[in-house]
Amino acid sequence: MRARVSIQQADFNLADEVAALRQGDGRVGAVCSFVGTVRDRNDGTQVASMELEHYPGMTEKSIEAMIDQAFARFDIHAARVIHRVGLLQPLDQIVLVAVTSAHRGQSFEACEFLMDYLKTRAPFWKKEQTPQGARWVDARAQDDAALARWGLS
């Protein structure tokens, strides 16, 4: 069985990850997944590349705790989060959230809940290379409304 959380430089294969998540689990009637990719623009500015950093150990522990919350809130069977770090280029995959459940509604909600957490609270630091030079971006402060709808702040 694969870990629920992977922080890695290597790319991932969506089909392989979903197959592993639902393997041998006859209860699964729904799989919801989200794959985020690196855009070539952010806030109207061209982005040539992005570099993501994290604090090893702390990041995984934080995401594991949020997956535990997803299990407490939603009737789900399994969850998997992969987040890439290091130097990434536009079009590269950056994040995967995948969730299984008996019915689609629970999978959709849990997947969105986990993605909202990753965008706003997961301890990652992002630096973008733009035509004007490098800039640090605080992605965690972008969408407090996303957490508020889940009763988190």
Query: What 3-state DSSP class applies to 91?
Result: coil
pLDDT in tens, 49-99: 999 999 999 999 999 999 999 999 999 999 999 999 999 999 999 999 999
Whole-angstrom Cα distance, residue 33 to residue 108?
Answer: 8
pTM above 0.85, yes or no: yes
**CATH number for the 5-148 domain, one of 3.90.1170.40, 3.40.1130.10, 3.40.50.2300, 3.40.50.10470?**
3.90.1170.40
DSSP assignment of 97-119 equals: EEEEESSHHHHHHHHHHHHHHHH
The Cβ of residue 88 has, within 10 Å, a number of other Cβ atoms equal to: 20
Q: What is the DSSP letter of 139?
A: G
List the chain domain ranges: 5-148
In this model, does residue 1 exceed pLDDT 80?
Answer: no
